[in-house]
Amino acid sequence: MLKKTSTDSYTVMNELVLPNDTNTFGNLMGGRLLYWMDIAAAMAAQKHCNRVVVTASVDNVSFKHPIKLGDAVMIEAKVTRGFNTSVEVRLDVWAQDLPSGTKIKSNEAYYTFVALDKEGHTIAVPELTPETPNEQVLYDGALRRRQLRLILGGKMQPDDATELKALFIESQKG
């Protein structure tokens, strides 16, 4: 199967925060942002897999700064690693106050998608080849993040999470 790079899946989505997107404080609702992130991430995953994909899991998302009514939201999404039938997608979210041009990083998150064939069965995804040192870091970390989310999802025994355990043992030594 053809190997892919993160560039192949790179996706940018822009949204303007309108009154219907906000809570009573005039800030973007978290659920609306997660919805936009899911769409951007799904597009990146589909570009990588050339298949229909479904969201399997969303890692923890922190909302560091409120995003205001009238701000522009830019969501960058790219696949960090392909596994067997699933891919991990990294998201970076930026909020920009258009009159001043001030742009702040709002969120980072990882979504996991599973590729399905026309009958709705899971199907193999292309591998990803990292091309830069930063992509290599994301690629290596994806294995540990996968182990953590599968443990939390009840799909892996902690004893089987070899790379994740090794990380904790290394940090204890240091």
Ligand X SMILES: CC(C)(COP(=O)(O)OP(=O)(O)OC[C@H]1O[C@@H](n2cnc3c(N)ncnc32)[C@H](O)[C@@H]1OP(=O)(O)O)[C@@H](O)C(=O)NCCC(=O)NCCS
**Closer to ligand X by Cβ: residue 78 or 81:** 81
Which of 6, 11, 80, 85 binds ligand X (CB under 6 A)? It is: 85
Are 157 and 31 in contact by the 8 Å Cβ rule? The answer is no
Q: How far apart are CA 52 and CA 45, in angstroms?
A: 9
Q: Provide, rounded to whole angstroms, the least separation between the CB of residue 127 and ligand X.
A: 11
Cα 115 from chain centre: 15
AA letter at 129: T
Q: Provide, rounded to whole angstroms, the least separation between the CB of residue 83 and ligand X.
A: 3
Which of 8, 47, 74, 83 binds ligand X (CB under 6 A)? It is: 83
Cα 104 from chain centre: 18
**Closer to ligand X by Cβ: residue 105 or 155:** 155
Helix 133-152 × helix 162-173 angle, to 10°: 110
Nearest CA to 163 out of 131, 127, 129, 139 is that of 139
Question: How many residues bind ligand X, per CB under 6 A?
Answer: 15
Q: Which x/- pattern over 26-65 shows residues binding ligand X (rule: CB under 6 A)?
A: ----------------------------xxxx--------
User: Can you give the binding site for ligand X, defined by CB under 6 A?
Assistant: 54-57, 83-86, 112, 114, 122, 149-150, 153, 155
